[in-house]
Amino acid sequence: MSSGVSNLSDIIAAAAAHNPEGRAVVTSSSSVTFRAVFQHAEVIRKILITGGVTRGDRVIARLKNSPEYVASLFGALMAEARKHLAEDNLNVLVVYGSSLGRVDALN
């Protein structure tokens, strides 16, 4: 990657800037662009920060492998939280509805 990428969360921002309409996530029935993933990751980042998540807090996304999962992963990384796979010592739980961009529950 270019020297402008200093951590994993920078990757989606760089990809969205350089190839916004490129396919970031492909499923059996659809695909999602880098722009859409970045925009939804930014929404998650803002929700997490507004909700009080700080650097190092544990965040879990209870989701199937999906575009929503990818967006929540990058959103948590952008908020400098730690993506967490187990529910012990959990700070935040992210749960999406059926469509990318709708967060049904948080906390």
Alpha carbon of residue 71 to chain centroid: 3
- Tokens found for residue 66: 């999906």
The residues, any chain, with a CB within 8 Å of residue 53's CB and separated by 6 or more, are 59, 79, 81, 91, 92
User: What does the alpha-carbon distance between residue 66 and residue 74 come to, in Å, rounded to a whole number?
Assistant: 13
Helix boundaries (H) for 1-107: 8-18, 34-50, 67-78
Q: List per-block mean pLDDT (blocks of 10 residues) for the chain, which spans 107 residues.
A: 66 92 91 93 87 79 82 86 55 50 43
pTM reported for the whole predicted model? 0.73
